[in-house]
A = this chain, B = another copy of it.
Amino acid sequence: MKVPKPTIRRLGLYYRCLSRYKEEGANFVSSQDIAERLNIKSSQVRKDLSYFGEFGKRGLGYDVKKLLSEIAHIIGVNKEWNVAIVGAGNLGSALANYPGLSKHRFKIVALFDNDKEKIGKKVAGITVYQMGELRKMVKTLQIEIGVIAVPESAAQHVAEKLEEAGIRGIVNFAPMKLRTRVPIEDVDITLSFETIAYNIIKAPAFSPIETPDEDK
């Protein structure tokens, strides 16, 4: 059965939400509890989880620890993933410095670049290697996920190099569709700006001085 992509993304949100409930000492939560924190419908939570089995207990809700471990297993964060970033520019450096990734078991273990000025230096404690070492380092450091943080013109070439090196999946920050044989996930920053522009145009005008109890 094919699970819709938005469901997969929401599983990540549920995982984070449940982690917080666990930290707060909650043993059971309802789909309503989860939905409220995430600003979505509780029926959506139930539908998403139903793809993977029966998790809730009638009247009790979901066992927080158990559901956390189930979701971790489903989305693959029950293990640590080693990640390489190709491109040690601003974006690559921002990602290397981003604490959210290692917190969620995505450990950046190497950066790669062609710029001689950058090779051998460290970014956020992580060594920048030359591209020629990619295949070797992927093997040595057991890297499974590659990140493309290079300009558009180099992105397809880098994707191919990552595949040849034995990478199993790619997160692509270049604003274009790449052709790959391994799974690829695009983080298209410009598209998010375009979506917000569309929504601003469509949204009813919101004036910040209106009464605060007005509907959202």
Name A's B-contacting residues (CB within 8 A): 5, 8-9, 11-13, 15-16, 37-39, 74-77, 81, 83, 89-91, 93-95, 97-98, 100-101, 104, 106, 144-145, 152, 163-166, 168-171, 175-177, 179-201, 203, 206, 208, 214, 216
Contacts and interface: CB of A to CB of B under 8 A. Distances in A.
Contact of A191 (B13, B175, B200): B13
* Copies, count: 2
A169 B76 contact: no
B182 A170 contact: no
A216 B181 contact: yes
B169 A196 contact: yes
Nearest to A162: B208
Given A12-B194, A90-B93, A183-B199, 5 more contacts: A11-B198, A13-B191, A39-B179, A101-B193, A169-B199
A98 B104 contact: no
A193 B145 contact: yes
A94 B181 CA distance: 29
Contact of A194 (B11, B90, B182, B190): B11
